[in-house]
Amino acid sequence: MTSVRRRSIAHSTARQEAQSLLRQNVTQHERMIAHDCLRTLSTENFEAEKAAHVHLLQDLWREAGIRDEFAIKSEEWTHLGFQRTDPRSDFRGGGVLSLEHMIAFVRQHGVAELDSSNPLQAFPLSIASINVTSMLTAYFHLRDVKLSFLRAETRSECSPSTLQAFLALGWQGEPGEEEKEEDNEEEEEEEEATLRRAVSRLQHVLQLLHATLLNHLHRSWRRMVLEDARTTLMDFPCALRATRAALVRATRAQGTTAWRLESLVREIEHPTPVEVSSGPCHLFSSSRACECAVVMPSAFSAIFALAYVVGGLLGICASPASMRSDADEHDDEVSETAAISNKSA
């Protein structure tokens, strides 16, 4: 009787392990389906003549508190940091998602401005917002873009294990498999509903990370300007790289399993102190201006040569990102974390 009981227990344990493995495989499969859905949403290009996209510009106009009647071409756009009086071309690199992120940020935080008597030290909100969206979509394998503020050899994507941990945030709060009834006639509909909720949660995660990183970038830029009066927009790529390093460091601090969104945001806002080595801030990682470049606001267009260079530095081009292992990026991240303080030294 005892041996029969033991065999029964062993069989039950093996079956539970097999079911657990099956659930894990299914979950990973579902995560990749969610990733495909999220990638489709993230790769929607901005179309200047599409009514729905123009309506989004109207939303941005309204949320920014502009009192004048909406106009596609207006000097008001340059006050938000757009390159020209017509903002539509600036969204070529980041797509519709970058516009949606900017609307959400302005709605919640208002128009971020940096008080400065020097226009070359003003915080370029549109440049910053579009680049933050692009660094997120590149990092999580959602859009094939080249981040021109990164060095050519730097990998812009996260590791597969980090991607899986990010996608798992879409299922936080979902009931476990053991809580679901088997042989339910509405099981397929429930699975589709679960997937839709997961994609919606991941969209929220991206939006929250965008706002957190954009605030981080604004604080970094303000600190750079206050610490060194010589700081100009030529130094802005340095702040962008430091902000991206904060994203990479925060995701690594979460490990590869059981991320908590609150902890991730907290790590970006209040990072664990690390020792950094001194070194130069290499601003000219790319001097090539590309067709889809996000460049400095038109308020500075009188200095054409400077605008051309900054256009090359801040450009976001649709192209495959270069590949490096996460370990190979460690030195880059450490140097970029120190970039702001090194700039003022």
Non-local CB neighbours of 165 within 8 Å, separated by 6+ positions:
251, 254, 255, 256, 257, 258, 259
pLDDT of residue 258: 83
Lowest mean pLDDT among 89-93, 192-196, 294-298: 294-298
Residue 249 pLDDT greater than 60, yes or no: yes
Residue 54 pLDDT greater than 80, yes or no: yes
Domain extents in the chain: 38-172+190-344
CA–CA distances in Å: residue 290 to residues 155, 308, 318: 20, 10, 10
More confident site: 242 or 328: 242
Residue 49 pLDDT greater than 60, yes or no: yes
Q: What are phi and psi of 147, to 5 degrees?
A: -90, 105
Distance of CA 181 to the CA centre of its chain: 37
Q: Rounded to an integer, what distance in angstroms lies between the CA atom of residue 108 and that of residue 247?
A: 21
pLDDT of residue 92: 83
